Amino acid sequence: MSTLERARIVQLIRRNAEKLHFGAHITSQVATFVHLVLDSSPCPDKPETIGIFICACLFLGGKVGDCFRSLRDVINVQFGFMPVLEYDQIKLLIIQQEEVILRTLQLDLESHNDHFNYLLNVCNYIVANIGEVKTAIKLLNDMFLVRKILEFNSQTLAIASLYVSLNLHMNNSNNCNDNGNDGGNDNSNDSRNQIQKKMEMLSKLIGNDSDSDTYTITDTITDTNTVFVQACIELMKTQLLFKVDGDSGEIIGMDNVDG
């Protein structure tokens, strides 16, 4: 399945998850299921089969995340993409698809997604402001649109998301100062020096120095700096990867970026 098709499925899942009042942790867990399953199983190729697949992922995600939603509720939010069948027939197809997902994941449902827990821990550690946190969450959330999310561990992506966020806010502060503005609204009155100190705190979490007491925040990070830099690059590339309709927010295509 193409990168664009995967992203559209994940986007549908995110919208339906919001209607089901799933939090970011459950939604990202479901998105991870999608990428893992699509790597190993035949891809759904019709709107109806995609609808069944999405329902099965959401239904399973709710159970795993202790946020159970009935099959009827899951079907209702996905109504426009479901096959024209009786409810009992649709229910059976979803349960069968859920069994396929469980076999594909080998019942390993808990170990794939600690990204947002790590991110919030690190945000608390450096005392990030609300703007920096929101930017980091958006960067990390959008990374779940692409399969690259599977290529980095949770710790690396969480720290990379916040690092890129701080860089963006630093650049915004520099631009505001160059234009004669203080940049207070965009940076919640953080000066460039304050952002720089936060970036220095984050840098202590990158690498293999097992003597650093900062590892109590996210456990030991085993990735090298090269992997961390690559994670930052992929986070930024994902922001440029898709063409999005300005009114509906729908992904309508891909830009010419090597994903």
For 91-104, give the DSSP string: HHHHHHHHHHHHHH
Find out whether 195 and 173 touch, Cβ atoms under 8 Å: yes
Give the pLDDT of residue 212: 38
d(CA 196, CA 92): 55
Q: What pLDDT shows up at residue 130?
A: 92
> Is there a contact between 109 and 59 (Cβ–Cβ < 8 Å)?
no
pLDDT score recorded for residue 180: 55
Q: Which pLDDT score is estimated for 203?
A: 80
> How far is it, in rounded angstroms, from Cα 154 to Cα 256?
28
**pLDDT score of 237:** 87
| pLDDT score of 59 | 92
What letters, b where the CB count within 10 A reaches 16 and e where it falls short, cover 111-142? ebbbbbebbbebbebbebbebbbebbbebbbb
- pLDDT at residue 92, as a whole number: 92
Question: What would the CATH number be for the domain defined by 3-104?
Answer: 1.10.472.10
Place of tokens 């720290």: 159
The predicted structure's pLDDT at residue 58:
92
pLDDT, tens digit only, all 259 positions of the chain? 788 888 888 988 888 999 999 888 888 888 888 888 888 877 777 777 888 999 999 999 888 878 889 988 998 888 766 667 788 888 999 999 999 888 888 776 665 567 888 899 999 999 889 999 999 999 998 998 998 888 888 888 889 999 999 988 888 776 665 555 554 454 444 578 888 888 888 887 775 443 433 333 333 344 446 788 888 888 888 888 888 776 777 777 776 544 4
Query: What was the pLDDT predicted at 239?
Result: 85
Ranges of each domain in the chain: 3-104, 115-254
pTM of the complete model: 0.76
